[in-house]
């Protein structure tokens, strides 16, 4: 290797080192981003980079539908909007725009289990109280429902906010058909009256006697009325 070749090799290495040092030491202002050994202007929020700057300013494009960019950027792609799907127990609270992501909130009957600031990333259905329990605390968008067991002598089907006392059949002059449980009320029925045959016979006999007496008095009244009318007719003659 001659002296000239050595000089060329040394020069190439020096140029490479200068470029590497320049790239590593390059610091772009906050309104620009680094691409190679250059600083390019950032695209504004709601936009993405189409082409990086090369002897001219950065070329930008608006974010496509269902994508957004909330900060000045040097990215070629916008961020995808968050999906508030019912499969996750969520619904849209604030729709996505070119500069803001969508915000989600729990569906009715669900509560958030993964919350970041104003956004809910996942939700679960409120606990359903079982028969024999009552709803001690109704669930909200942030908290689950709380259930508690009914005490003896009370019942609930799981949808009540308190347990109800069993119906007291005796106080209603009824007969207990089926005792109540913690999930069902007591069942009552009318008491069957068993009247002795002798009493029934006596009542019927008294009825007939009274009817006969009333009939006799009625006949006598008719007869007396007829006798009073006969003299009046003779006088007229």
One-letter-per-residue 3-state SS of the chain: CCHHHHHHHHHHHHHHHHHHHHHHHCCCCCCEEEECCEEEECECCCEEEEECCCCCCCEEEECCCCEECCCCECCCCCEECCCCCHHHCEEEEECCCCCCCCEEEECCCEEEEEEECCEEEEEEECCCCCCCEEEEECCCCCCCCEEEECCCCEECCCCCCCCEECCCHHHHCCEEEECCCCCCCCEEECCCCCCCHHHHHHHHHHHHHHHHHHHHHHHHHHHHHHHHHHHHHHHHC
Are residues 178 and 148 in contact, defined by beta-carbon separation less than 8 angstroms? no
Q: Which residue carries 């040092």 as its tokens? A: 21
pLDDT tens digits for range 14-71: 554 444 444 456 789 999 999 888 899 999 999 999 999 987 889 999 999 999 999 9
What's the rounded Cα separation, in Å, for the pair 63 and 103? 18
- Residues near 235 by Cβ (< 8 Å), separated by ≥ 6? none
Residue 214 in this model has a pLDDT that exceeds 90: no
pLDDT tens digits for range 95-133: 999 999 999 999 999 999 999 888 999 999 999 999 999
Residue 198 in this model has a pLDDT that exceeds 70: no
Read off the pTM.
0.59
What's the rounded Cα separation, in Å, for the pair 52 and 61? 12
Q: What is the pLDDT of residue 208?
A: 76
What's the rounded Cα separation, in Å, for the pair 74 and 71? 10
Are residues 85 and 73 in contact, defined by beta-carbon separation less than 8 angstroms? no
What's the rounded Cα separation, in Å, for the pair 125 and 75? 38
The model's confidence at residue 215, banded by pLDDT at 50, 70 and 90, is confident
Q: What is the pLDDT of residue 179?
A: 95
Q: How many Å from the N-terminal Cα to the C-terminal Cα in the chain?
A: 183
Mean pLDDT score, 150-176 = 94
Are residues 64 and 81 in contact, defined by beta-carbon separation less than 8 angstroms? no
Q: Whose CA is closest to 98, among 74, 64, 75?
A: 64
Q: What is the pLDDT of residue 21?
A: 45
Percentage of residues of the chain with pLDDT beyond 90:
59
What's the rounded Cα separation, in Å, for the pair 132 and 149? 6
pLDDT, mean over the chain: 84
Residue 227 in this model has a pLDDT that exceeds 80: no
């Amino acid at each position: 290797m001659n002296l000239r070749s050595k000089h060329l090799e040394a020069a190439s290495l020096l140029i490479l080192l200068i470029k590497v040092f320049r790239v590593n030491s390059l610091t772009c202002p906050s309104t620009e981003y680094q691409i190679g050994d250059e600083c390019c202007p950032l695209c504004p929020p709601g936009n993405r980079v189409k082409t990086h700057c090369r002897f001219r300013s950065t070329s930008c494009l608006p974010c496509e539908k269902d994508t957004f960019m909330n900060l000045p950027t040097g990215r070629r792609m916008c961020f995808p909007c968050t999906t508030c799907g019912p499969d996750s127990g969520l619904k849209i609270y604030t729709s996505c725009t070119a500069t803001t992501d969508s915000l989600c909130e729990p569906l009715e009957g669900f509560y958030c289990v993964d919350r970041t600031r104003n956004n809910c990333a996942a939700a679960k259905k409120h606990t359903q109280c079982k028969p024999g329990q009552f709803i001690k605390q109704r669930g909200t968008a942030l908290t689950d429902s709380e259930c508690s067991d009914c005490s003896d002598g009370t019942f609930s089907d799981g949808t009540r906010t308190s347990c109800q006392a069993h119906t007291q059949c005796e106080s209603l002059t009824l007969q207990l058909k089926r005792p109540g449980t913690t999930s069902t009320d007591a069942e009552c029925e009318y008491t069957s009256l068993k009247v002795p045959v002798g009493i029934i016979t006596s009542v019927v006999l008294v009825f007939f006697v009274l009817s006969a007496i009333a009939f006799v008095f009625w006949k006598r009244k008719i007869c007396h009325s007829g006798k009073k009318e006969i003299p009046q007719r003779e006088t007229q003659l």
